[in-house]
């Protein structure tokens, strides 16, 4: 029984990721004495992991139905733009602006889903077109409404959200760790909500069925079009949340928010076991995949890798991680056949 459990655990892609992650942390930790410095390394690293995990979840939402969202970064910029407008022009408090921005992101996502379902055009093409349209629109709004191409008004609480950690959360005399940023709470809440959707809620299950086989789902009475629109709306809303987290981390709401989101949005989910073809998602895997890439980047940067060798090494290690996973899968499948 124990052996069976162990074998099954090893066959899980996420187990491989956890082992690789632990190995890398041990290797980098022994090579770099300051790798566990909570102020300069762990806190900023976890803040980035939190933001990119939400970006990964945004992509995961559309991957679940077998679609892609090329405009994930620009949807983040679109949502963040509304948050900036809410703070600078409408003088709203922090969380009211966040709600407006996430709603705007969800709306643009839903519109994208509607275009896909009504036109029947591939999601890649539609989101690519949406990316271009939003690029122009967001830049236009910033250049028309601001002089420095950014909304720089900081509502009360934004500064604290950027710098506060769990050490600022105390129960009596005992406080949390200074290594975990408070911003990570947003990522945890997003993971719990998305996790609940796909593992417990009927809507999420239906989205996965649409991703597995849209025709079969349609014949089973699932409202396929509505699920497609819903998945894209979820993707847009999560992208906007990630835009908010990046703006809080950086300090202002700019048009360039999200411009670096596209690659990490795929890396996290795909490394974590989410299928590009739809039908299977992994929320924990997305977090692990994102953590893996960020730990590699952090470790290599601290080892003094140049910008070129950083990109090459990152590419090779990720390729190796994916290949090793495949090798492990094949070996476990062969063993299973022999038995």
Partner 1 sequence: MRPFAKRTRLCAVAVGLLAVTVGCTTRGSDAGQSAAGPDKKDVSSVKVAFVPGGPHPYFQPWKAAADQVKADFKVGGTVFDETSQWDQAKQNSALNSLASQGYNAMGIFGVSPTDINSTFTDLKAKGITVASLGSCPAGDKDEADFCLSTDVGEAAYKAAKTAIEAMNGTGKLVHLTGNNVDANTQRRIAGVQKAVDETGGKVSILTTIPDIDKDLQTAQKAVADLLSAQGNQIQGIVTTAYNPAVAAAAGVKSAGLPIKVVAIDDDATILAGIKDGSVAATIAQNPTGQAYVGGWALAQLATGACTMATPGTTVDSGSFVITKTNVDTYDTERKAKTTQLTEQFKSSVLKCS
Which of the residues 261 through 290 are near partner 1 (CB under 8 A)? 273, 280-282, 284, 287
Q: Is 142 in the site for partner 1 (CB under 8 A)?
A: yes
Q: Which position among 119, 122, 220, 306 is part of the footprint of partner 1 (CB under 8 A)?
A: 306
Q: Is 9 in the site for partner 1 (CB under 8 A)?
A: yes
Q: Is 143 in the site for partner 1 (CB under 8 A)?
A: yes
Q: Is 167 in the site for partner 1 (CB under 8 A)?
A: yes
C-beta separation of 34 from 302 below 8 A: yes
Cβ closest to partner 1, residue 83 vs residue 110: 83
The site string for partner 1 over 39-58 (x = CB under 8 A, - otherwise) reads xxx--xx--x--x-------
Cβ closest to partner 1, residue 63 vs residue 255: 255
Q: Where are the alpha helices (DSSP H) in 172-282?
A: 184-199, 202-212, 214-219, 224-250, 262-271
C-beta separation of 186 from 54 below 8 A: yes
Report the nearest approach of partner 1 to the CB of residue 115 (Å). 26
Q: Is 175 in the site for partner 1 (CB under 8 A)?
A: yes
Which one, of 135, 123, 159, lies nearest residue 77 by Cα?
135
Rg (CA), the chain: 21
Which one, of 150, 139, 338, lies nearest residue 250 by Cα?
150
In angstroms, the CA 204 to CA 336 distance is: 31
Number of residues that bind partner 1 (CB under 8 A): 67
Longest distance between any two alpha carbons in the chain, whole Å: 70
Which of the residues 53 through 92 are near partner 1 (CB under 8 A)? none
Look at the chain and count its residues: 339
Q: Is 256 in the site for partner 1 (CB under 8 A)?
A: yes
DSSP state of 167: G
Q: Is 19 in the site for partner 1 (CB under 8 A)?
A: no
Cβ atoms < 10 Å from Cβ of 7: 13
In angstroms, the CA 109 to CA 111 distance is: 5
In angstroms, the CA 166 to CA 86 distance is: 28
Q: Which helix (H) or strand (E) holds 253?
A: strand 253-254
Q: Which range of residues in 58-66, 96-104, 105-113, 243-251 is near partner 1 by CB under 8 A?
A: 243-251
- The residue ranges that bind partner 1 (CB under 8 A) are 5, 8-9, 12, 14-15, 18, 34-35, 37-41, 44-45, 48, 51, 139, 142-143, 147-150, 152, 159, 162-163, 166-167, 170, 173-180, 195, 198-199, 246, 249-252, 254-256, 259-260, 273, 280-282, 284, 287, 297-298, 301-302, 305-307, 310
């Amino acid at each position: 029984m124990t052996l069976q459990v162990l074998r099954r655990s090893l066959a899980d892609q996420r187990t491989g990721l956890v082992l690789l992650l632990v190995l890398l942390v041990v290797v980098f930790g022994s090579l770099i004495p300051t790798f566990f410095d909570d102020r300069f390394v762990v806190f900023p690293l976890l803040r980035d992991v939190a933001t990119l995990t939400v970006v990964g979840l945004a992509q995961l939402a559309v991957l679940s139905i077998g679609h892609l969202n090329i405009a994930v970064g620009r949807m983040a910029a679109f949502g963040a733009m509304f948050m900036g407008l809410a703070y600078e022009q409408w003088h709203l408090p922090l969380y009211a602006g966040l709600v407006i921005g996430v709603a705007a992101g969800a709306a643009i996502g839903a519109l994208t889903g509607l275009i896909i379902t009504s036109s029947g055009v591939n999601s890649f093409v539609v989101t690519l077109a949406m990316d271009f349209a939003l690029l122009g629109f967001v830049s236009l709004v910033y250049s028309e409404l601001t002089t420095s191409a950014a909304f720089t008004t900081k509502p009360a609480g934004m500064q604290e959200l950027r710098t506060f950690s769990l050490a600022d959360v105390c129960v009596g005399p005992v406080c949390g760790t200074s290594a975990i940023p408070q911003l990570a709470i947003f990522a945890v809440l997003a993971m719990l909500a998305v996790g609940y959707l796909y593992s417990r809620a009927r809507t999420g299950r239906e989205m996965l069925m649409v991703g597995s086989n849209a025709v079969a789902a349609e014949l089973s009475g699932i409202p396929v079009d509505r699920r497609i629109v819903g998945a894209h709306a979820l993707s847009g809303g999560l992208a906007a949340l990630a835009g908010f987290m990046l703006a809080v981390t950086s300090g202002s709401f700019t048009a360039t928010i999200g411009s670096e989101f596209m690659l990490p949005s795929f890396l996290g989910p795909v490394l974590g076991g989410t299928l590009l073809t739809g039908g299977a998602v992994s929320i924990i895997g997305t977090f692990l995949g994102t953590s893996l890439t960020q730990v590699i980047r952090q470790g290599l940067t601290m080892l003094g890798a140049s910008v070129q060798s950083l990109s090459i090494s990152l590419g090779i290690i990720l390729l190796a991680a994916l290949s090793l996973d495949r090798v492990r899968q094949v070996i476990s499948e062969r063993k299973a056949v022999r038995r």
